Chain A
Amino acid sequence: EAAVTQSPRNKVAVTGGKVTLSCNQTNNHNNMYWYRQDTGHGLRLIHYSYGAGSTEKGDIPDGYKASRPSQENFSLILELATPSQTSVYFCASGGGQTEVFFGKGTRLTVV
């Protein structure tokens, strides 16, 4: 069973603070992705990675950084959190075009 685990599941952060969202996959997939989900927008790609040490910008990267220290782990970093970054964030891993598995999501509220 493909497994993508996100932590924390819920987070409240203050404006201007630093937030790190973590993702771990046990699928041995090369590709990993960070999406955010907002009503009316579906899921939008923030950053993705082809493997350890690589990060690439997705469609909405502004205000976010990503880090892929290993095959299994992919983090999303908000250096200076803003209320507009309040959202639900999903991590996914993929071994090819047809295999993409999502985690359960992290609900982030920036106050």
Chain B
Amino acid sequence: QQQVRQSSQSLTVWEGETAILNCSYENSAFDYFPWYQQFPGEGPALLIAIRSVSDKKEDGRFTIFFNKREKNLSLHIKDSQPGDSATYFCAASEASGSWQLIFGSGTQLTVMP
């Protein structure tokens, strides 16, 4: 059973639209939720993250909305650009232990010009 689940394997939007990527999780002990962005041939890189005590985190065009009761979160990319085309991974970890990240299977975003 996947602990972190991303419902869409791929998503296509037009330039200027808001892309919405969804994620859900199983473990109530998770308290830190980063989103990683990965371009072909590169390793994942941290894009934005939220802690479970917050319900929203904004950084420029990127916003995370978090619902602790429903155990889900979403990444909104406002005014999407072709350069945002990448694979986005939702991940989770808990404060105790090794801080190991548990990843979702990823959503490949394509922004059409």
Contacts and interface: CB of A to CB of B under 8 A. Distances in A.
Contact of A42 (B42, B49, B89, B93): B89
Contacts of B42: 104-105
Contacts of B36: 102
Interface of A: 4, 31, 33, 35, 40-45, 48, 50, 56, 58, 90, 92, 94, 96-98, 100-105
A61 to B, nearest CB: 13
Contact of B93 (A40, A44, A97, A102): A97
A48 B41 contact: no
B100 A43 contact: no
Given A4-B43, A45-B100, A97-B99, 6 more contacts: A43-B103, A45-B101, A56-B98, A97-B93, A100-B101, A105-B41
Contacts of A4: 43
A94 B44 contact: no
Contacts of A101: 46
Contacts of B93: 97
Interface string B42-60: 1111100100000000000
Contact of A50 (B34, B41, B95, B98): B98
Given A42-B89, A104-B43, A58 B100 contact: yes
A50 B97 CA distance: 10
Contacts of B95: 97
Contacts of B6: 42
15 contacts: A4-B43, A31-B98, A40-B105, A43-B89, A48-B100, A56-B98, A90-B43, A90-B44, A97-B93, A97-B99, A98-B34, A100-B101, A102-B43, A102-B44, A105-B42
